[in-house]
Amino acid sequence: MSIEDYESGGKLLGDANGDGFITILDATAIQKYIVKIPEENFREDLADVNEDGEINIIDATLVQIMLSKA
């Protein structure tokens, strides 16, 4: 997905740091969130990639899978 998708209202799931792109930084942001290291601009709604209501290592792994397919 592109920044245009994001701005048109589509949620860019996985964009945990809210910069409009899915990168390894988003997986890192989720991992930091899990161990309770504060992350600036962390987007809890976007970090829950599988939308199960919890932010955990599965979501970080899903971001990494998205990256590996890109």
Query: Residues in the site for Ca ion, rule: CB under 5 A?
Result: 15, 17, 19, 21, 26, 48, 50, 52, 54, 59
Structure token pair of residue 12: 């860019």
CB nearer to Ca ion: give 19 or 67.
19
Q: Which is nearer to Ca ion, 39 or 59 (CB)?
A: 59
Cβ at position 25, least distance to Ca ion in Å? 6
The angle subtended at Cα 25 by Cα 42 and Cα 22, nearest 5°, is 85
Closer Cβ to Ca ion, 17 or 31, answer by number: 17
For residue 8, report the phi and psi dihedrals to the nearest 5 degrees: -80, 5
